[in-house]
Structure formats: structure tokens, C-alpha cells
Amino acid sequence: MDLYAVAQHYLDRILEKDSSDNIRVLLLDKTTSAVISMVTTQSELLKKDVFLVDKLDNFQRDSLRNLSCICFLEPSMETIANLSREIANPNYQKYDLFFNNSVSNSKLERLAESDDLETISKVVEIFMDYLVVNKAFFVVPNVVSPYGPLVRDSWDQAAFDQSLQSVMSLLLSLKYKPVIRYETNSKMCAKLANAVNFEINSNQMLFGQLPLRDSPPSLLILDRKNDPITPLLFPWTYQAMIHELLGIHNNTVNMSRVHNISEELKEVVVNEQTDQFYKESMYLNFGDLSESLKRFIETYKAKTKTSSNISTITDMKFFLENYPEFKKTSINLSKHMLLSTEIDKKINELRLWEVGELQQSLATNDNSSGDLAELEDLLFDRKLQNGAPAAPLSEDTKLKLLAVYALRYESHPSNQLSRLTRQLHQLGFPSHKLDLIKHLLQTSGTSQRLHDDGESIFEKVSNSTMGGTVNGISFKNNTDGNVYMQHSPRLKQVLMKLFKNKLNTKNYALLKPNGLEAYAGNDKIPDQELVIFIVGGVTYEEARLVAELNQLNPGLKIVIGGTHILDSDTFIGLK
Amino acid sequence: MSKRRILGASDTGLNGNASMDELNPSSLSSSQSSLHSSSLAGPDILECPICTESMVTVNQLNRHLDDEHAVSSFGSSETNLQIELDFKQWFKKTLATKADDVVGKSLYQNSPKQLRAATQDSCLNDGNSDDETQKLAFENSSVITRNHWQKPSGSDICCYNSCAKRLNGKNGMVNCRKCGRLFCGYHSRFHIKLNSSLQSDPLNGYWSRCCQECFFSYKAGWDLAKTENCAFFTDKTSNLKNIRSKKLNSVKLETVALENRCIKLVGVLKDIEKNNIPARSLRSIERNLADWVDDAGVDNCSICKTEFNFWNRKHHCRICGQVVCGDISRGCSMDVPANIVVDIMNIDQEVKLEKLQDSRWSIRMCLNCKQKLFNKRIYLQNVYSDSQAELLQYYRQVKALEDKFEKSTQSSDKAVELRNIDLLGRMEKIGKLVSNIVNSLEYVLEQNQSKQGLVSVKPDEVKLYKALKLHIVMFLQDNLPGLRRAQQEKLKKEQTELEQQTGANSHRPRLLKKEIREYREKLMVLNEQKFMVQNLYNDYKKRKKFDDLISLEANLEDLQREIDIIEERLGDSAFQ
């Protein structure tokens, strides 16, 4: 599965040159600038003769009527208003309009109204209303929280519209006309699923043109509340750690808070498409990452060594010719060095080695007394390190530990949550933070979650009896005894059942859009094309699971996405 | 070609080489059940057992079978036999009971009860016919032919490129249903839907196991590297153009009328200048030309709606005749100097208007008319004049150079490299020029910020120059190292070629016998010398006279080199 390939097709279409040889200007808006920045670079654009990239709502632009203009915009009311203002008094010679989703006829009329000078030469709808994060990982743009302000299991209207648009555009961009499965215990999933179904049925004109497939693709809509554990646990793989500890925003990491940072590393880009090292190591755990970084340094050294002792003219020539490449590699190397040292610093600062181990043990083992003692030691800072009391844990870390405990032992008879909360409160732990746990239990406690047969969110990788291969589809087995990566997301179990066609229709309703009524899952042939959408946020950990599945199974194409990307802080409500 | 008859001439159809490749148990049982339901539903209509098309008479059914379902026979005889048997059974149960009186007779007269009983019977006999159809829809051996299958020879290896696993019970041994070759279990774990002609058929095909290669090359809509499989888009240009042209047609008519008035007015002014018309009649001509609105009934400006009074005077637009105010700040109307009107109107006029001699003439125009008359013309003028800008000229030069470069790198000419170096040099020159411009423009921009606009420089233009510079730098960076490398390789190649040629040259003219003799003698002498020196060397070594050893060693090497050269020259003729 490769969303980058799809994006590249679209880019080619947008940047396609017509007969007139001209310098071109690219106008974007808030959404599309994010969309395009995730899939291409400034220099790529420059190669295609796009010399100027600007925002449509920048009204300070100069009139350059000798240039042609490409607009890649979202068809929102605001953008259309700005655009008609632009073409009524055109700054450029002609306009090729590309919208990242369907444009209604009334909006077209409005544009035609203002186009007295006949400057619009092209109007094309392409379907790229989503951000490509990884090869098989997309996210809805501009959603901070999908939840409505009043009731938790309800949508914020704007977020809902945007999510629906994103899902529809993703389906169209992949030319999918899917059957839809959703978790019945969630109203949000049901609303989205029905809306998607309705849109497909009312846009038969578009969906009817799509090529037939051997079996229809599936759209699986899940709700975060059914798996509250995965976003709480500290992830130990590279990409996920960068996000958890440093924060990835539209593929960029802001490093300006680091002391004495050089100008070019203040904001670093982490993109699978342009960064070979990142592509190879984004799913590695911390141990493997340092190994691979070491190798990277060694190859770099070996490369530069040959040119460091410049004695002859040919050496000099060789060095000069390869200088741009060296420079690129060295910047890349220092970028990853910086990221991993910062991660390391943070891990030690937050004492994540101990905390992570306890988190995993809490989440996977049924050992209430031992874990409780350990938890109390950490919560009340009783632990000794080299004979002296260790530095106290940060409040947020404690809170997350307590949250894992609260979820794990919610219905356990010897649940000590209320005692722990009371004690913490007496020690001066802010009560608004403790309330977050109450809130978490209300929204995704055991009564709120879906209990499909034999399913538990506290699943251990090595314990899962079904591991390995399911109906011809291999899952990666991390049974190398890594104590920090024992837990596997619930998504894995759901997928295993899906591939066996064993999803309980009571818990996972199936919607068949017009024309797909004949579909009745075949238990011999698992679904081959699948789009997963997690309402309430998706984690990098789940994206990794999907990436591994895609890599291990060439006959399988899965894309995963969500309303937004979670880290533990945003999930629990600290941010 | 054999016939598959229900009745009559049945010996050719049922006992001969029946060709039942399309006739399979699954379709049979389904047709049975549909026959069953249709007979329950109402009038008894005979149905084709293959395509369930309804027939009125048996004759018609026979003809239909001959025409539609007679296909040349292939497929394994075993399965065909089975089908034949099934078919016979079906045939007997449904129709044989009536065979006596059916021939040539309409089926309308048959009792529905009997037929129903017969079909029900057959359903019972079939057992779980539904289950069977499901299983068979998965992979139907009688539809998906096995003729092309590679026969296992006992020592096969997996046909997948890089696999080469031995095929046995452990690794698996599976024929790809599509290409027929043998694969190991791992490389044949894919499924596509195939039809009887082994083509991918998502609609009516049967799930069939296939190999990795076939999966990726034949699976419909799978490979995202192909544009037709993804990146769906719709072109709405024509929609917009339709809407726009509808709207513009009415506007255009209006504009043409206004244009004509404007041109006439200018003509009148010209005539007054030439004294063809007395100046005092101007007002009445203007009035007639534009059909002035009666200003008595107008209290507000027709554009800004401001009330007229002593200070806010009424004005008539000379083009459309509307009453508007003359406020400069609002710009509802203004006196446009007539020569400017002429200039602008001339931009796209075929018959150019003449300029007026007195530049004080002016025409009062309202905002609307001014926009309608001027906007498009000014836009066109800008597009044209800006296209001659310096920036674009540089850009075109760069593009032309790039084109040339690309073309010449494609052709494998010998002089290409020299020419390319020349091209790169020119590119570098343009780059320098552009970077100079960037610097000067940036300087001007800085000055402007402090001194408030001396020369007008657009910040966007500076950005464009910078981008152009970057473009050139990138091009040079991309191509310079590659070119240099190519150059070096070429040099090396030439050298080796030269060496080979010289080597070959010395070989090619065959050595004369005399020369051979001379060389041999020389060789012998040299060998003898070498022998002596070697002895000397060993002797000195024994006596540990290391100082002399070094010079002797060099001597030996020299001798050896000379021997080698002569031997090479002699080649084969060194030995007799």
C-alpha cells in the first residue's frame, strides 16, 4: 500500500505542463498547504517550474500578469470567496483550479460570476483531502478533537464534516467502493458509517465509474474508546517515540527549545519518502535504533574518510563533486543524532525505563499485588536508587500510570484506585488531574467498551494463541521477550477476526452500498483491501502494526487513519 | 462440435463427445433450484439448464442449446463424464416423464404438478445443493481448465524468480491456476477471480489460487503505480465554461453597445476639433448618444446611493446615461482624459482611433462603464507587456539551454560532452547574471523600506528571481558531477582504447622472419644475462653484501621488463 504513489499521481496532474512555457505560481490555502507539504518538497516544485508558492488569503501579493497560476484549494466557502475576489481582479495571467474534493455547482456558479476576464482555464476535482503521514497512514486535517462539547459519544460538527470529506476523498483517490463495517457500541462510528454509505449511494455517478474488484474493499470504522490502553502506554519505536516525547506536527518536529541548536536543525522534517534512514528505522525499537544509527555513522565515516585526507587532485575533485551529497548526509545524520539524543534524555528524565516496564506489566500480566506494590513505590516516590531516594516522578507520568491501573483493575475485587487517589490527593496532587481518570473511566471504562467474544484489550503479544498466521495472512510476532513491547493493540485481534471472517455482526455492523448487496464475506479468501479509520484518534503504534502487515503480506493492502494522531497527553486530556 | 440436445438427436448430444465444459454441477444445481421456484411461481415455463433462459417449447430449447452453448470441447474427460451423468439425471427427471407426448408439442399443456414433483425430487436427491454451490463457486475445476498445468516431474523447484525452493510435501506444490506453472505454497498463496478463459473477471469469475506474479499483473485495480488504478479525478472545466459563457454572452452584448457609444463620442470630439461640428452642439449630441436619464426624478447616486445636494452634484455618465455623483474618493464617476480613453480602447481595436490634439478633452464615465470598458483591455495589455519582462527572458534562456542539454545527453554523440560543458558554462553565466539582479533588487527593496519607495520593486518579483537562481543552481549541481564523471570515464576509456590499439597495431603487421630471428637472439642474450645476474645476486646474498644487492635487484628487474616486452612482441612465435 502506498499513499505516496497516489499523491504522486495527483501531483503530476496538478503540475502537468501545458504548451505555454511559463513560470508558474502555486496558490494554496490552510488545508492544502498542509496536504502538499506532506508529500512533496520545495525543490521538487521548483523542478516543475513552480517558482512562487503563496497562500490565497495573502492579499499582499503583487500583480504578476505574465505568470500562470495553479491553485490547489479546498472547496470551502471561505476559500471560494477569496478565490472569486482574486479572479475578479486577477494577479496572474490564467488560473488552473484544482480542488481537493467535490465542488458543488453553486460554488462553480459563484466562480463563473466573477470570472469576467475568462482567466480560469481549468477546473479539476482531485481527491486528496487527507494528510499522508506514512506510506499507509493518513490523518484528517485540521481536527483537534472530534468530540462535541456536551456529550462525549457525539461528534463536533466541523470535525465530522471534515472527517467525512477525508474518508470520502481517500476512497475515491484509491478508487474504492467499499463495504462498511463499524463498531455498533459507538454512536460516532455509526453516524460516520451511515454518512459514508449515504454519500456513496448518492454519488453513484462517481462511484459507478470505479473499476470492479474481485472482492469489494472494506472500510472498518473503529472507536478509540474500545481500546483506551494503547495510547496510554509509552511506545518504544522510533517514530512513535518522536511523537510522544517531542511532538510531530505535519511531519515536522520543532526542536527550537533545545539549547544551542543550529539554525538548520531548529525545525526538522521526518518524512519516510525523502529520508532513507528514517524509512528504514522508523519502526525500530530503541535498542535496534541505536544499532542502526551506529551503522549509519560508520558508513558516513567511511565515506568521508576517503575524502578527508585530500592529497591528490583527483581526491579533491571527488570530494567537491560529492560535496552536496555529503552535506545532505551529514545534515541527515545530525538530525537523527539530535532526535535520538533528545529522546534518550527525555527517557532518563522521565524515568521511562522503570515506568514503561511497569506499564507493560500492568497492561498484560494478571499480577495485582506485585504490580500494586511497584505502582505505589513509584506513585509515592518511595523507590530507592543506589541507596538514595530517586528523583520524584513527574505528575503526568504518575497520572498515566494510575490510569493504566484504573483501567486494568476496574472490575477487579481488590481494586485500590480510590485509596490511591485519596492518598495522592492528600499529598497535594492537583485534583483536576485526578478527575481526568474518573473521566477516562466514564468514557472508556469496561461498561463503555465493546466485548466481542474472547476479546480483551489487555492482550499480550506472546500470549495470543492465534499469533503467526491467520487464514494465510502473517502477523509479526514480537516474541523476542522484549519486556517493553509485550502489549499489542486491540486492533490486531480485530484484524485477525476480520481475516477469518469471524467478526460478530452484532458488534460489527455491515453496511453494503448499492451494487454490493451480493457481498457475503468469504471465509476462505480474507479481505484483500482494507481501510481502517479510528474515530477518536489513531496512534503511531497502530500505524506500525499495519505497516508490518503490509510488508509481510504482499497480497494485502491496508491503510489506517484517524481523526487525529494521539499521544498519551492528548488522549488523557493533559494537552 | 457436438450438440447438447434435450430431446431428439439425443444420441449425438449425450452419448457422443459431450462438450460440457460450461455445464458444471454448480450451475446445474442453481438452475434446478430456479426451475423449481419458477415452476412454483406460476405457469410452467421450460428453462435452459445452463443459462436459465426461459423457453416455450422443447424445440426452442434444443435450438437454443445448439446455438448458444455448443462450444468446442476441452477439459478433462473425467469431470465431463460426471457432468454428463448429472445432466442425464436432470434430463430424465424433469422431462423424460413427458418425453412420450412432448415432441413437437407445446409445453403449455403439461400439468404443472408433475413437473414440480420432478424438480422437487431432484432437489432432494442433490442434498445440500446450496452448500455445494458455495463451495464450488470458490474454485471450479470444470470451468477453470487444468490443461495448461505444468506436470510435476518429481524434482521441481518453485517457479518464482528468487525462490527456487524444492517442491515437496513440506514446501507445498501448487499449480498457479492462471499461468499453470508450479510454485511452492508460499508463492502461490494468492487468490484472484478467473473466468473460463483464464482472464481476471471480478464479476463472474471464480476464486482461484494463483502465484505472486499473476496476482500482481492480473488483479484488477490493484497496482497503485498505474494511474488508472488510483488517483481518481473529475474534470469540471466544461461545467464552469458553460455557466460562464451563458453569463458572459449577455454581458458582452451590453459591452459592445457601450463601446460603440464611446467610440462615437471620441469621433465627435475629433470632429469638433476639426471644426466639422460646432462645439456648442456637443451637449445635445452627448444627450442623444447615451439617452440620458431624466435627473429631475433622481435623488440618490445610482452607485453609492448618496443623496444629492448643493455640494454633492448630479453628473451624467456619458456612456450609459445614468445619474451618478462626482465624488473623487468614492470614484462613482470621473472625468477620464479623452486621450487615455483612446489609448486604452486602441489596445484591442482593429481600426485604431486617432488621438486628439488638445489633451484637455475628457469624458465623464461612471465606475461601472469604466470597468466594463477598461478592465479587460488593461488586463490584456499587462499580460502582453509583462511577458516581455526581463525575468521571463532569462527564464526562457534557461529553459532553452536545459532542453538542448537534455537532447544532447540523450544522443550518444562524441562531441556531446564538449557541447554540454559549453552549455553548462552558459548556464553558469546566466546564473551569475540572475544572482546579480537578485542582489541589486534586494538592495533596492531595503532602501525602499527605509526611504519610502524610490523605484517600484515588487517583493514577489524578487522571490521569483531567487527561485530562478535556485533553479539554475540545482540544475548545475545535478548535472555537473555526473558530467565530470562521464568525462573521466570517457577519458579512461579512450586511454585504454588507445593502449589496445597500439597493442593491436604491433601485433597486426606480422613480424618478418628476420625480425623474429633478431628478437629471439636478443631474448636469448637477455635470458643469459639474467641468469648471470641472478647467480651473482645469489652469491652476494650468501656473502651478505647487502649494499650491492639493491643495485643488482634493480638490474634484474630491468632485465625482466625487457624480456617481457620482447616476449610480448614475439607473441606465439617465441616458441617453435
Tens of pLDDT, residue by residue over A353-367, are 889 988 888 888 877
User: Which chain A positions have a beta carbon within 8 Å of B459's beta carbon?
Assistant: 62
The average pLDDT across B370-398 equals 82
**pLDDT tier, B40 (very low <50, low <70, confident <90, very high otherwise):** very low
Task: Answer whether B240 sits within 8 Å of A212, measured CB to CB.
Answer: no
Q: State how beta strands B54-55 and A218-223 pair.
A: unpaired
User: How is residue B1 written as a grid cell?
Assistant: 462440435
Which one has a higher pLDDT value, A562 or A553?
A562
Given CB atoms, is B505 within the 8 Å cutoff of chain A?
A: no
Which one has a higher pLDDT value, A10 or A257?
A10
Alpha-carbon gap, residue B392 to A378, rounded angstroms = 68
Q: Angle at Cα A432 formed by Cα A429 and Cα A434, nearest 5°?
A: 60
| Residue A82 is assigned to a structural domain of this protein | yes
Residues A7, A122, single domain; the answer is yes
Alpha-carbon gap, residue A551 to B211, rounded angstroms = 18
From A82's Cα to the closest Cα of chain B, the distance in A is: 17
**pLDDT tier, B116 (very low <50, low <70, confident <90, very high otherwise):** very low
pLDDT at residue A25 in the model: 92
pLDDT at residue B84 in the model: 56
Q: Which of A108, A126, A213 sits opposite B239 (nearest CB)?
A: A108
Instruction: Among A321, A350, A379, give the residue marking a domain's end.
Output: A350
Interface test with chain B among A4, A8, A9, A26, by most B beta carbons within 10 Å: A9
Residues A339, A360, single domain; the answer is no
pLDDT at residue B303 in the model: 84
Instruction: Among A94, A126, A158, give the residue marking a domain's end.
Output: A126
Task: Answer whether A126 sits within 8 Å of B383, measured CB to CB.
Answer: no
The average pLDDT across B43-48 equals 56
* Integer CA distances (angstroms), B434 to B394, B467, B468, B478, B513, in order: 8, 10, 8, 19, 70
What does B349-403 look like in DSSP terms, one character per residue? -SSPPPPPS-TT-EEEEEHHHHHHHHHHHHHHHHHHHHTT-HHHHHHHHHHHHHH
User: Which chain B positions have a beta carbon within 8 Å of A324's beta carbon?
Assistant: 477
From B478's Cα to the closest Cα of chain A, the distance in A is: 9
Window B:101-140, CB contacts with A under 8 Å: 138
| Residue A431 is assigned to a structural domain of this protein | yes
Instruction: Among A325, A350, A375, give the residue marking a domain's end.
Output: A350
Q: Which of B219, B232, B474 sits opposite A173 (nearest CB)?
A: B232
**pLDDT tier, A61 (very low <50, low <70, confident <90, very high otherwise):** confident
Which one has a higher pLDDT value, B350 or B442?
B442
Interface test with chain B among A46, A49, A62, by most B beta carbons within 10 Å: A62
Residues A61, A110, single domain; the answer is yes
Which H helix or E strand runs over B333? strand B333-337
Interface test with chain B among A108, A116, A314, by most B beta carbons within 10 Å: A116
**pLDDT tier, B57 (very low <50, low <70, confident <90, very high otherwise):** low
Window B:311-350, CB contacts with A under 8 Å: none
Given CB atoms, is B160 within the 8 Å cutoff of chain A?
A: no
Lowest mean pLDDT among A396-410, B70-84, B98-112: B98-112
Alpha-carbon gap, residue B15 to B5, rounded angstroms = 11
The CATH number assigned to the domain holding A93 equals: 3.40.50.2060
pLDDT at residue A148 in the model: 85
pLDDT at residue B91 in the model: 55
- Give the other-Cβ count within 10 Å of B250's Cβ: 9
Q: Which of A123, A209, A321 sits opposite B484 (nearest CB)?
A: A321
Alpha-carbon gap, residue A317 to A307, rounded angstroms = 10
Task: Answer whether B233 sits within 8 Å of A125, measured CB to CB.
Answer: yes
Window B:167-226, CB contacts with A under 8 Å: 189-193, 200, 202-203, 205, 207, 212, 215-216, 219-222, 224-225
Percent of chain B clearing pLDDT 90 (strictly above) = 1
Alpha-carbon gap, residue B126 to A431, rounded angstroms = 72
pLDDT exceeds 70 at position B81: no
- Nearest to residue B335, comparing CAs of B320, B321, B317? B317
Buried-exposed string B58-70: b where 16+ CB fall within 10 A, e elsewhere: bbebbebbbeebb
Residues A23, A99, single domain; the answer is yes
Task: Answer whether A127 sits within 8 Å of B240, measured CB to CB.
Answer: no
pLDDT at residue B72 in the model: 39
| Residue A451 is assigned to a structural domain of this protein | no
Which one has a higher pLDDT value, A123 or B386?
A123
Number of structural domains (chain A) is: 4
User: How is residue B171 written as a grid cell?
Assistant: 514446501
Lowest mean pLDDT among A371-375, A457-461, B152-156: A457-461
| Residue A545 is assigned to a structural domain of this protein | yes
| Residue A532 is assigned to a structural domain of this protein | yes
Residues A528, A417, single domain; the answer is no
| Residue A18 is assigned to a structural domain of this protein | yes
Nearest CA in chain B to A90: B379
From A212's Cα to the closest Cα of chain B, the distance in A is: 6
- Nearest to residue B87, comparing CAs of B140, B176, B22? B22
pLDDT exceeds 60 at position A471: yes
Report how many Cβ contacts below 8 Å link chain A to chain B. Answer: 177
| Residue A449 is assigned to a structural domain of this protein | no
Given CB atoms, is B492 within the 8 Å cutoff of chain A?
A: no
Residues A472, A419, single domain; the answer is no
Task: Answer whether A6 sits within 8 Å of B467, measured CB to CB.
Answer: no
Residues A219, A279, single domain; the answer is no
Alpha-carbon gap, residue B389 to A179, rounded angstroms = 56
The average pLDDT across B432-458 equals 75
- Helix ranges (DSSP H) in A151-203: 157-173, 187-202
- Secondary structure in 3-state letters for A474-542: ECCCCCCCCHHHCECCHHHHHHHHHHCCCCCCCCEEEECCCCCCCCCCCCCCCCCEEEEEEECCECHHH
Residues A19, A108, single domain; the answer is yes
Given CB atoms, is B485 within the 8 Å cutoff of chain A?
A: yes
User: Which chain B positions have a beta carbon within 8 Å of A122's beta carbon?
Assistant: 235, 237
pLDDT exceeds 80 at position B304: yes
Alpha-carbon gap, residue B111 to B381, rounded angstroms = 89
* Integer CA distances (angstroms), A239 to A140, A174, A246, A342, B194, in order: 19, 25, 10, 13, 41
Mean model confidence pLDDT for chain B: 72
**pLDDT tier, B505 (very low <50, low <70, confident <90, very high otherwise):** low
The boundaries of the domain holding residue A201 are 129-228+461-574
Q: State how beta strands A24-28 and A50-55 pair.
A: parallel
Which one has a higher pLDDT value, B25 or B348?
B348
Would you say A391 and A518 are in contact if contact means Cβ atoms under 8 Å apart? no
| Residue A452 is assigned to a structural domain of this protein | no
Residues A42, A140, single domain; the answer is no
Would you say A538 and A561 are in contact if contact means Cβ atoms under 8 Å apart? yes
Q: Is this prediction's ipTM beyond 0.90?
A: no
Task: Answer whether B464 sits within 8 Å of A51, measured CB to CB.
Answer: yes
Beta bridge partner(s), residue B42: none
pLDDT exceeds 80 at position A404: yes
**pLDDT tier, B188 (very low <50, low <70, confident <90, very high otherwise):** confident
Nearest CA in chain A to B382: A65
Q: Could you report the per-residue pLDDT of B87-97, keeping only the tens digit for each?
A: 556 555 555 44
Given CB atoms, is B393 within the 8 Å cutoff of chain A?
A: no
Task: Answer whether A52 sits within 8 Å of B459, measured CB to CB.
Answer: no
**pLDDT tier, B133 (very low <50, low <70, confident <90, very high otherwise):** very low
Residues A416, A305, single domain; the answer is no
Lowest mean pLDDT among B72-86, B167-181, B264-278: B72-86
Residues A371, A438, single domain; the answer is yes
Task: Answer whether A46 sits within 8 Å of B470, measured CB to CB.
Answer: yes
The CATH number assigned to the domain holding A290 equals: 3.90.830.10
pLDDT exceeds 50 at position B100: no
The average pLDDT across B50-79 equals 58
pLDDT exceeds 60 at position B111: no
pLDDT exceeds 90 at position B127: no
Residues A10, A76, single domain; the answer is yes
- Give the other-Cβ count within 10 Å of B120's Cβ: 15
- Give the other-Cβ count within 10 Å of A371's Cβ: 19
Task: Answer whether A108 sits within 8 Å of B236, measured CB to CB.
Answer: yes
